[in-house]
Copies of this chain bind each other. A is one copy, B any other.
Amino acid sequence: MKFKDNNRPLILLTNDDGTNVPGIKALIELARPLGNVIAIAPDEGRSGMSHAITIKYPLLITRLREEEGFVFYSCSGTPGDCVKLALDKLADRQPDLILSGINHGSNTSISVVYSGTMAAAIEGGIHGIPSIGLSVVDHSPHAELSSAVVFGKKIIANTLQNGLPDGVCLNVNFPPVDSARIKGVKVCRQTRGLWKEEFDHRVDPLKRDYYWLTGYFDNHEPDAEDTDEWAIKNEYVSVVPVKVDFSAHHVMDKLASVYEEKIKV
């Protein structure tokens, strides 16, 4: 994909909710004034797909729109597939920025591991490209997006100008409230906590057991003011820097004494 004015910043844009939701439309409107935009999104909702990639089947893409400085594709794959395919086949050079979202639903705390939105941003980080996942904490298709639009615009412009530290992408969550109520932006860490499963057990007409995933978020530190859950509850925009190196460096020496020294050839 070659744009007419190829000197503008190149922005790759995706999401995990599909091509026809308010979140991605709002993000496209934020991105287009800042550069040339290649948008490629799953052809249907792919929430909860995490960093899944399609290995056993090929990917199909369809061009939905093309205007000066903007092209929009749908893709049969996951958000991770969208980024990989765009980097290899759609962009004629390394993008200056990758944006994913605006997701309809929270990606605070441990949800970062299940999130297709964040997987796309992490994939960008793996490729050394400044990348941001943006989510509004309301999974309704009618979620209030005004905070995301007002503060997302500033965060995106800032990141395009300053870049990000190597191996780090951003997980940005917005409270689902009018932008006038936002108290500020907080750089914070992933809250310690987990989703507690409560599968809903039913029996189908063939007498087979089946299970629907349900559950609730169990916050292990609801009063910790340096966490993303606290920020959202107190009407701040949360910005969590996310690493693409998952190694637990702080326990290497301790574990070497258990696994290297005690297990000999």
Contacts and interface: CB of A to CB of B under 8 A. Distances in A.
Contact of A187 (B168, B212, B241, B259): B259
Listed residue (A80, A110, A241, A242) with the most chain B CB atoms within 10 angstroms of its CB: A241
Contact of A209 (B60, B88, B126, B256): B60
- Indicate how many identical chains form the complex: 2
B89 A199 contact: yes
Interface string A47-90: 11111111110111100000000000000000011001101110
Given A165-B254, A182-B265, A50 B51 contact: yes
A47 to B, nearest CB: 6
A33 B260 CA distance: 23
A61 B187 contact: no
A10 interface: no
Contacts of A119: 50, 113
B59 A190 contact: no
A53 B248 contact: no
B187 A252 contact: yes
A54 B215 CA distance: 13
A199 to B, nearest CB: 5
Contact of A190 (B112, B246, B254): B246
Interface in A181-210: 182-190, 192, 194, 197-199, 201-202, 208-210
Interface stretch (A22-30, A93-101, A151-159): A151-159
Given A48-B54, A55-B47, A251 B168 contact: yes
A48 B53 contact: yes
Interface residues of A, number: 83
A259 B81 CA distance: 29
A165 B52 contact: no
Interface string A240-254: 111111111101101
Contact of A162 (B151, B187, B211, B258): B258
A1 interface: no
A39 interface: no
A113 B51 contact: yes
Contact of A199 (B55, B88, B155, B244): B88
Contact of A48 (B55, B60, B244, B247): B55
Contact of A243 (B199, B202, B246, B262): B246
12 contacts: A49-B52, A50-B119, A110-B244, A151-B263, A155-B259, A158-B258, A158-B263, A167-B192, A183-B265, A185-B259, A189-B249, A246-B246
